[in-house]
Structure 1
Amino acid sequence: MRKEKNFKLKAADIIDLIPPMGGCVATDRITVDGLRITRMYREAPTDESDSGWQFYSGTETQEYVDDANNWSIYSVNTIANYDKAIIPYLHFPVGTDLERVPGSDKFDIFCG
């Protein structure tokens, strides 16, 4: 059973920042706790409504991510409202794996 989430941004605060591009996955660390995105990667979309993007704060453990109560599917625009620094990278192709450059709004290729 899913618990009610107390999102950092209210629906009325979400504005159109980008053209529609489908859904994405983001964890509660971003949408509930308000942490910045530090990792973003793009997998092959599962259908036409999926952008393939997944967004993480970098604080999530595998156990945390494995619990479906800790993440949801959102429009990419919604997540862009949480962290506008992702916008310049959203056109990158499937297979893109980016990590935020510490202390900046720039992302670079993840070399994990």
Structure 2
Amino acid sequence: MEEGGSVRWLYREKPDREEDSGWRLFEGTENDEYNSHASNISIVNVYALLDKDPSLITPLRGEFGTAFEREDINRPWTQINDWDGL
């Protein structure tokens, strides 16, 4: 959620703890090395996300095991049906 960035890829897995929604959100250009550093990962309040990008309401309604992507913030969300990343 850095300035000028937007969520372009997200998926939902089983939560790690009670307060966890299970959603994992990405800008879409992160690599494994970037994601392996805990300092690059943060917990964000869902309302803060929706304030920044109201279109997130569509994918955030998804069930566990769902994934969504889009080309950029001006494009619609597409559910990924053949994703087996879980």
The TM-score range, normalised by the shorter chain, is: 0.7 to 0.9
Question: Residue 11 of structure 2 contacts residue 24 of structure 2 at CA under 8 Å; is this kept in 1?
Answer: yes
Of structures 1 and 2, the larger Rg is shown by 1
Question: Residue 6 of structure 2 contacts residue 73 of structure 2 at CA under 8 Å; is this kept in 1?
Answer: no
User: Percent identity among equivalent residues?
Assistant: 33
Q: Gaps (5+ residues) in structure 2? A: none
Question: Residue 36 of structure 1 contacts residue 57 of structure 1 at CA under 8 Å; is this kept in 2?
Answer: yes
Please state whether the residue corresponding to 2:7 is helix, strand or coil: coil
CA deviations on 1:32-76 (whole Å, 9 max, x unpaired) are: 243111101101112221100111011111111111111211112
* Aligned residue-pair number: 82
Equivalent positions of 1:26-105 (< 5 A) are 31-102=1-72, 104-105=74-75
TM-score, normalised to structure 2, is: 0.79
Q: Does the C-alpha gap of structure 1 residues 35 and 103 become closer, same or farther in structure 2, counting only changes over 3 Å? A: closer
TM-score, normalised to structure 1, is: 0.63
Please state whether the residue corresponding to 2:64 is helix, strand or coil: coil
Q: Does the C-alpha gap of structure 1 residues 68 and 33 become closer, same or farther in structure 2, counting only changes over 3 Å? A: farther
4+ runs deviating over 4 angstroms: none
Quote the RMSD (CA, aligned, Å).
Answer: 2.0
Please state whether the residue corresponding to 1:63 is helix, strand or coil: helix
| Higher strand proportion | 1
Q: Does the C-alpha gap of structure 1 residues 33 and 71 become closer, same or farther in structure 2, counting only changes over 3 Å? A: farther
